[in-house]
A and B are shown apart, each in its own frame.
Chain A
Amino acid sequence: MSEEKQQVSRRQFLNYTLTGVGGFMAAGMLAPMLRMAVDPVLKSTSSDGDFVNVGLAVEDITTTPQRVDWQIEQVDGWYESKPGRSAWVYKDDKGDIIALSPVCTHLGCVVSWEGNESHPNEFFCPCHDGRYTKDGVNVPGTPPLAPLATYEQKVENGILYLGKAISRKGA
């Protein structure tokens, strides 16, 4: 063995081996913990397309928005509950059913149809005076930057079923 060929000293070799073995052990220890911690990110999101009977017959839907409240089944880890959902439902000029989410796109307050006397024919948010026209499009110059979300919907046996709220692009 010549001096030139000895590029790795005994001390270096031991250092590398020990660091490697130690690192392997540490990784083996930490990997399951980290995998457990990131599990919610990697879990596939479930329950899309779950339509719920909101207890409203299609024939009862008018051209004036009416508020409907219903409950959905929610499984949150180990906790099962039935949180409430609500929507403003009406028929537009073509007779199509529109179901708008009442959640203001500004900061998440709840809007009401004609919630303010000085703004008739509009949805109104009491928190920061946000306004939306009847089709849910935000009025320019008021705080919200996007229209109200619309619920996925289907009609079965003349009864309205609503699914997930789909947010719309800013106007």
Chain B
Amino acid sequence: MLQKIYDWIDERVDITPIWRDIADHEVPEHVNPAHHFSAFVYCFGGLTFFVVVIQILSGMFLTMYYVPDIENAWRSVYYLQSEVAHGQIVRGMHHWGASVVIVMLLLHTLRVFFQGAYKKPRELNWMVGVLIFFIMLGLGFTGYLLPWDNKAYFATQVGLQMAEQVPIIGDELKVLLAGDDEIVGAQTLTRFFAIHVFFLPAALFALLAVHFILIRRQGISGPL
């Protein structure tokens, strides 16, 4: 049945070359843990992406219950944790995944650094990777405020004061993030929510696309 549907579409649109291009490519021997077990270090990039996928999916489902409003944010999180079936698990995935993704990203970065895989012609991909790292940190920072509990509130106070220390544009930057020059409140929360679920993910997708297209065009760097 599935084969028939596939054939029907393939006959008309010729999709086989498309997915072959994406999925069907040889893994060089020095990257394959089956040949040299130490090649598992090459998994960290893929693992980072895997956790990112978990973050995207669990985040999508969390927004079914979460409201970015100072009156209801904490209560909606509490409700989804305590009343909704498996809500605790899904928020747990998002909570722990947020840390795991940074760990994986750092391991991936260390591998690329110590293998010198960032060297010519792959400098551009290193730069894109650094941007992805900053986007991830931004996602972590903005997501931290959303439960609107004491930890979230005071962490954001500190974060905003750090932004304020930036030379010349510090004050403006802080107001831009907080939405108000004094209060960390309703406007801060909606801003952080918008940044967390729309702006940063959009930037992340674009950068990930560039990251992956570049690695496919340039290939994985050779063995040490």
Contacts and interface: CB of A to CB of B under 8 A. Distances in A.
Contact of B93 (A32, A37, A39): A32
A11 interface: no
Most buried by B among A30, A32, A79: A32
Interface stretch (B71-79, B106-114, B131-139): B71-79
B72 A39 contact: no
B61 A37 contact: yes
Interface in A1-35: 29-33, 35
Interface in A66-113: 77-79
Interface residues of A, number: 13
Nearest to A80: B75
Nearest to B80: A36
A65 B8 CA distance: 65
Given A77-B65, A78-B72, A79-B72, A36 B84 contact: yes
Interface residues of B, number: 20
B71 to A, nearest CB: 9
A18 B188 CA distance: 46
B84 A39 contact: yes
Interface string A107-126: 00000000000000000000
Contacts of B78: 78
A42 interface: yes
Contacts of B84: 36, 39
Interface of A: 29-33, 35-37, 39, 42, 77-79
Interface of B: 54, 57-58, 61, 64-65, 72, 75-76, 78-80, 83-87, 89-90, 93
In the A-B complex, the 9 residue pairs with the closest CB atoms: A78-B79, A78-B75, A32-B86, A32-B89, A33-B61, A35-B86, A36-B86, A78-B76, A39-B85
